[in-house]
Amino acid sequence: MKSTKFTPVPLTKAETDKKWWEIGDFFRRNSLWLLMYCTGCCAIELPPAMTSAYDMERLGMGPMATPRQADILLVSGYLSLKTLRRLIYTYEQMSEPRYVVALGSCPINGGIYHDSHAVINQLDQYIPVDVYVAGCMPNTEAVMNGFVDLMDQIKHKRANGWKKYHENYSWYKANQITSLGEVDVHDEFHE
Amino acid sequence: MNSMNNIERVKEIVEKVAKVRKFEQIDKFQIAFEIEKNDVHQTLSALKLAGWKQLSYLSAIDWIETSKFELVYVLFNWDEALYIQIRAMIEREAAEMNSIISIFPGAKYYEREAHEFFGINFPGNPDYHKQLILENWDDIPPLRKDFDPSVYSDRKFPKREYSVDYSVKDPENKSFEKIKEREKRALSLRTGGQKK
Amino acid sequence: MANIEYLLLFLVGSAVISYFLTRLNSFIGSIFTIFATMFVFVSLAAYGFNMNLDTTVSLLPWFSFSQTYLGFFFVIIIAFIYLMVSFFHPYFLDKYPYKNSYNLLFLLSLAGIIGAFYTDHFLQLFFFFEMIIWTTMFLIPQGKSREAAVSYFGFSLTGSVALLIGIFVIYQNVGRFDIQAGLAGISGTTSVFVFVLFMIAALAKLGTFPLHIWLPLAHGNAPHPFSPVLSGALVKLGAFIGILALIKINPIGPVIGAIDLALGQYIIAFIGSLSIVFGTLMAIKEDDAKKLLAYSSMSHGGYILVAFSALNGFAFAGGLYHILAHALASAGAFMAIAAVARATGTTKMKELGGMIHKMPITYLAYLIAIISMAGIPPMGGFISKWLIFQAVIDRGMILIAVAVFFGSVGSFLYVFRPLAALFLGQEFREYKHVKEAPLLMLIPTFIIMGLNIYTGVIPKQIIDFINNIIGENTAFAPVVATTFTVTATYGTLNAGLIALIFGVGVAIAFIIFILMKKSRKVELMDTYTAANFVHDEHLLHYSVDFYAPLERMYEKQSHWMKKFYDALAHKVKEVGKLAKYLFMSNNIGVTLIWILVIIVLLIGVVAL
Amino acid sequence: MIVNILVGIGIALFGFALQTSIGGINRKIVGRLQKRHGPRWYQEFIDIFKLLSKRGISHGWIYDFGVIMALGGIIATAMFMPLTVDIVAFKQFDNFFIFVYLLAVGMLGMAMSASGSGNPWASIGVMRALTTMLAYEVPFLIVALTIINVSDSSSLTAIQAFQQTAGNNWFIIALPLGGLVGVLSLMGMLGKKPFETYIAPAEIASGPMVEYGGKQLGMLFILHEISVFIEVSLFVHLFLGGASNIFIFLIKYFTVYTVVNLISNVNGRFKIDQVVKFFYKWPLLLAIIQAFIAIYLGWVI
């Protein structure tokens, strides 16, 4: 018989933090709240995902009203320049940790708008994207699969888009400025 | 037919104030007049008096071969089912057209839009040069025919570069397994986790 | 030993001195006023509590004084408010057109108040009343509007004329001007008549429905440091008269069997409840912060009336407690608004926003004042409302209960409005330079904050004093109170426990808050705007027509009273014009007729 | 005293756990009603802990202070709440009016914090919440007046004991009109449809909560759960005879909350002035009639 003696090993602060973070990850991946930024046609895939056909709520997901409350920024479809500017604004308003899920081929490579003067081609140049769901438009199973993928990534600590945004902030900012110019929008009706 | 009478009446009104270069009946409820640039204001005010009180739309067409812009004013009457298009050709170089906001104040925003997308100037409209839709535009107006959106897009927006060719025909491609796995997962999602 | 006579003379003397000092330098004059008021307050507080004041008269002929617990209760509250407000004078006086006379009138009105509550002679009571009315009438127009002073004077005059007639009726019946004997001496129809007259005086002074028009005008337009006095102190004169009428005269009339209450009292309670509802609705609608608080005073006047007319020991104690709590709360609120008005120059809520970032202490003072005003524990207003509720439930006064509860919930609505529109919300760029009020103005703010909490946590001393008043004036059983608890018909309220538990709750919440991740600080303008870029903070500040959906429901009805009084004023003017035409006409014919009439009369008199 | 406070904290914790689980179960029930699977029953716990673990934003000290004050007020109110006749932290101090007015401290704190965020939608939400409160509170208080008058005490344990003595009915039976008013007011209090105008996610972006994220929102969720606990147990104690032991309390609590939730799920949403008009029309009238019958005529079944 081997006698096993329990010796408590004091955890360092980094280790405790890691433990807490893992616990937090469990909660975070089981309760993902969406902010739907319905920019394009892919938004039509969301009603079946939410209602009785696929029932997003059983995964703990649900729609939220404002970016402050939400965990996922769900970009559904193409992004024109004007929308992108507001999308970035919204993304920066969200609470951390925050994740981005992009639906459809437009945020990936521009899709059918790849040569438009008003639509950007690649969303991850401007904000970090954790999950792309390809397809024009992706069917609802694919959308749900994308969410499950995101949960997987959170579990394995790979959904680090928001950290990347902090680390490479200047790179993202430079990209935003080349494509959009400085954020300098005037509201002529209330000046 | 009542609308035929209407068309005749409109023709009379327009011909009284402007030299009609071309008349076209597009369908039963739409007619178009092509007139001189200088007659546009008179025609519009005459038609407004006759009941075509709403300026539905104002836009332009770029005829790059003949180096002209064609301005189109679409008028609408709330009492009679007849749209009228007034078309006028203006020069493409240093394009300019006097504003019609004294007749239709709502034209203010259409003129701004036309300026933004075609570069037509509208003297008489105090803020035609202000930005309306495009934010911080830094090229030639985008709806001109000599503007190449593809080049602009390539210059402005980073493109995704594909290093691997994800050809579906490639038997060596590992991505099929991934796809199969995904399909399995999708099946389980469809059935609510129950195995069939 | 302090002598009331000397106190009065001291006040009159220092009023004159302060006039000359203010003339020399307004700051010095105001500091002198602070010390004079403080002296009076301290001597009253030191000797008055145990009825140790000297009431002998040696210098002032015809005057006579006596001290009662009831009178002292009012005097000490009002003198306290005067003292607190006098700290504001150095910073406000320069803005007023007749600043020399400001301190003079202020001290004189305080003298009037001390006289009114300590006298035992009806005519002197009337004299001191008039002294208060006249001095304050010249104080009010130093603010924004003269119309306000006219309105104030008109309604006060109605009240004091009613009071005077009542006094004469009493004299006719009893043959004495002594207050206690006079009130005790009348009975039957006379007492009903006197009751009505005294109640008219009380309603007019208290600013309750239907004699309330002057209240928002005077409160809203009075000089900023004088509004707390008007609302916290002077209005309570009406409550005093009301007690005399409702408790002391208490005419025997038909009794409503179901609630076991005389008809006269029930009518007054009903008027009080109308006043509550009306004041609440108007306050919800008002845009000027001071007028809003004025309407709230009207609604609280209604509470006081309901409390005194319920003829119940708990209600009586609750009414007195409410006088104290409301005096402190409304003085606190008005003083906070005054501090804001000093810094920004306006009291209109649509022009203000985000003052909390500049004036946090003023904000806290306002917050604590409104918590008390809305009757939320752990502040004084809760205990008084709780006592009043006991009586209302005990009597089963259902219709009045509707109004009482409506006013109680409605007060959340209107007190929150200045909080949201004026202190919270977006920070306006035009007030970037604004600073917190100066130290001298913060002293009374802190004191009133402390007292608001004190009245809500430790009711013992106050209830004990109120028990003295109950024993002195009524036959009700005293209210049982230990240090922290008050016991009434339907159970015991432990105010201290509530405060303690609230503290525990906040501590738990604070622990949760502090344990979790630290928040990221963002600008006020960085709010969710559906991702739109808004550059103007005025557009993100929701303060105009705050309760629009509710206001829309009674918008049309809200001008009825004003229209009625306008029509009445028009009629009075017409009568005046007729009189002017008849007596002061340039028309020779009218004059001739008058001469003829007089001659005929003379002949008639001579012939008789 | 310390023991009492600990019991109080225990009750508040129990209330939180109870309502959070029952809220989760009710989400499941509603899911089944809509032919969905619905979430796990402990989903609400996950939501709250997730929110607490996130890093939110702060709009200045009043934004944080208001949340703390709100949660503190609500926890304090819950600490006074009796669970059964015997399980109560502060016997004879569980006065009915404490629950109505101490609850208001919490609401004031939340309103303050929401307005302090500087978002106009938050202010609109607060306005709507206060207006709704003005609507449902008056009929409810009138019914409470009747109950206090009839049972001769305003202490909740005493009211429970009154209903449990032989010969007395539960007040929902003894005062049927009042019971109806009670249910309607409870729906207003809980912010259930058709009276949920102040949340209105699609209209004013969830009203007072528009600017909250992270721990502040988590604390507001805790606040919401505890305040639902307070309101539903208030109803149970006032109208359903309270409880003599904890199981009866659980059954009654679950029934009341589920029934109200089911009613709410087949309703649309009122406009704000419709809410006020509604409550001042029928419930107030019924409450007054009930009070007349019970107090003046003495007809209590």
Contact A60 D47 (CB under 8 A): yes
**If you measure CA to CA, which chain B residue comes closest to A180?**
B136
For residue D258, what pLDDT is reported? Answer: 92
Chain D environment of A23 (Cβ under 8 Å):
53
State the pLDDT confidence band at B1, using cuts at 50, 70 and 90.
very low
Q: Under 8 Å CB-to-CB from D163, ≥6 apart: which residues? A: D151, D169, D170, D171, D241, D242
Strand partners, B58: B73
Contact C533 A89 (CB under 8 A): yes
Angle between helices D246-265 and D176-190 (to 10 degrees): 70
Contact A90 C536 (CB under 8 A): no
Q: Name which of D68, D81, D147 is nearest D109 in CA terms.
A: D68
Q: Which domain holds residue C591?
A: 556-607
| Domain presence at residue C285 | no
Of C354, C508, C529, the CB nearest to D75: C508
Subunits touching B (CB < 8 Å, at least 3 pairs)?
A
Q: In what order do the strands lie in the sheet with C480-481?
A: C480-481, C485-488, C491-494
Burial class of residue D154 (count of CB atoms within 10 Å of its CB; 0-12, 13-18, 19+): buried
For residue D21, what pLDDT is reported? Answer: 92
Of A89, A93, A187, the CB nearest to C535: A187
The answer to whether A25 and A157 have CB atoms below 8 angstroms apart is: yes
Contact A116 B149 (CB under 8 A): yes
* Amino acid occupying residue C472: E
Chain A environment of C533 (Cβ under 8 Å):
86, 89, 183, 185, 187
| Domain presence at residue C162 | no
| Domain presence at residue C474 | no
For residue C8, what pLDDT is reported? Answer: 84
Q: State the nearest Cα–Cα gap between A79 and chain B, in angstroms.
A: 12
Domain boundaries, chain A: 31-176
**What are the tens digits of pLDDT across the range B46-88?**
888 888 888 888 888 888 888 888 889 998 888 888 888 888 8
For residue B194, what pLDDT is reported? Answer: 64
Question: Strands (DSSP E) along C474-583, which ranges?
Answer: 480-481, 485-488, 491-494, 520-521
Could you tell me if D148 lies within 8 Å of chain C, comparing CB atoms? yes
| Domain presence at residue C31 | yes
What average pLDDT score do residues D158-179 get? 84
Q: State the nearest Cα–Cα gap between C214 and chain A, in angstroms.
A: 39
* Amino acid occupying residue C477: A
Q: What domains appear along chain B, each with residue ranges and CATH number?
A: 2-190 (3.30.460.80)
What average pLDDT score do residues D139-144 get? 89
Q: State the nearest Cα–Cα gap between C147 and chain D, in angstroms.
A: 33
Contact A90 C539 (CB under 8 A): no
Chain C environment of A87 (Cβ under 8 Å):
531
**Which H or E element spans position A132?**
strand A131-133
Q: What are phi and psi of C372, to 5 degrees?
A: -65, -40
| Domain presence at residue C602 | yes
CA distance C202 to C272: 11
Strand pairing class (A131-133; A62-63): unpaired
Contact A145 B158 (CB under 8 A): no
Angle between helices D120-151 and D272-291 (to 10 degrees): 10
Residue B3 has pLDDT above 70, yes or no: no
Could you tell me if A145 lies within 8 Å of chain B, comparing CB atoms? yes
The answer to whether D289 and D142 have CB atoms below 8 angstroms apart is: no
Strand pairing class (C520-521; C261-262): unpaired
Angle between helices A140-155 and A13-30 (to 10 degrees): 160
CA distance B44 to B76: 11
Of C526, C528, C536, the CB nearest to A190: C536
**If you measure CA to CA, which chain D residue comes closest to C518?**
D55
**Which H or E element spans position C281?**
helix C263-285
Chain B environment of A81 (Cβ under 8 Å):
134-135
Strand pairing class (C520-521; D57-58): parallel
Domain C-terminal end among C95, C121, C147? C121
The answer to whether C18 and C33 have CB atoms below 8 angstroms apart is: yes
Q: Name which of C318, C286, C273 is nearest C470 in CA terms.
A: C318
Give me the percent of chain B exceeding a pLDDT of 70. Answer: 89
Chain A environment of D36 (Cβ under 8 Å):
51-52, 55, 57-58
CA distance D155 to D203: 41
Handedness of CA D51, D56, D59, D62 (dihedral sign): positive
Subunits touching D (CB < 8 Å, at least 3 pairs)?
A, C
Number of domains in chain C: 2
Is the ipTM higher than 0.85? The answer is no
- Tally the residues of chain A: 191
| Domain presence at residue C331 | no
Could you tell me if A118 lies within 8 Å of chain B, comparing CB atoms? yes
The radius of gyration of chain B's CA atoms, rounded to the nearest angstrom, is: 26
Please state whether the peptide bond connecting residue A137 to the residue before it is cis, i.e. omega within 30 degrees of 0: yes
Contact B135 A185 (CB under 8 A): yes
CA dist list (Å): C605 to C598, C601, D23: 10, 6, 94
The answer to whether C233 and C82 have CB atoms below 8 angstroms apart is: yes
Claim: this prediction has a pTM higher than 0.90: no
**If you measure CA to CA, which chain A residue comes closest to C528?**
A66
Q: Under 8 Å CB-to-CB from C566, ≥6 apart: which residues? A: none
Contact A60 D46 (CB under 8 A): yes
Fold of A31-176: Rossmann fold (3.40.50)
Mean of per-residue pLDDT scores for chain B = 82
Q: Name which of C281, C278, C199 is nearest C238 in CA terms.
A: C199
**What are the tens digits of pLDDT across the range D77-128?**
888 888 888 878 788 788 888 888 888 888 888 888 888 888 888 888 888 8
Q: Where are the alpha helices (DSSP H) in chain B?
A: 2-17, 40-49, 107-118, 149-156, 175-190
Contact D213 A69 (CB under 8 A): yes
The radius of gyration of chain D's CA atoms, rounded to the nearest angstrom, is: 19
**If you measure CA to CA, which chain A residue comes closest to D56?**
A95
Residues of chain C with pLDDT under 70: 1, 258, 584-585
Mapping DSSP onto H, E and C, the string for chain D reads CHHHHHHHHHHHHHHHHHHHHHHHHHHHHHHHHCCCCCCCCCHHHHHHHHHHHCECEECCHHHHHHHHHHHHHHHHHHHHCCCCCCCCCCCCCCEHHHHHHHHHHHHHHHHHHHHHCCCHHHHHHHHHHHHHHHHHHHHHHHHHHHHHHHHCCCEHHHHHHHHHCCCCCCHHHHCHHHHHHHHHHHHHHHCCCCCCCCCCHHHHCCHHHCCCCHHHHHHHHHHHHHHHHHHHHHHHHHHCCCCCCHHHHHHHHHHHHHHHHHHHHCCCCCCHHHHHHHHHHHHHHHHHHHHHHHHHHCCCC
Q: State the nearest Cα–Cα gap between C204 and chain D, in angstroms.
A: 29
Handedness of CA A52, A55, A60, A66 (dihedral sign): negative
Q: State the nearest Cα–Cα gap between C375 and chain D, in angstroms.
A: 8
CA distance B30 to B6: 11
**Which H or E element spans position B85?**
strand B83-91
Strand pairing class (C491-494; C520-521): unpaired
| Domain presence at residue C57 | yes
Q: Under 8 Å CB-to-CB from C233, ≥6 apart: which residues? A: C77, C78, C81, C82, C113, C327, C331
For residue C176, what pLDDT is reported? Answer: 79
| Domain presence at residue C239 | no
Domain C-terminal end among C72, C95, C121? C121
Domain C-terminal end among C84, C104, C121? C121
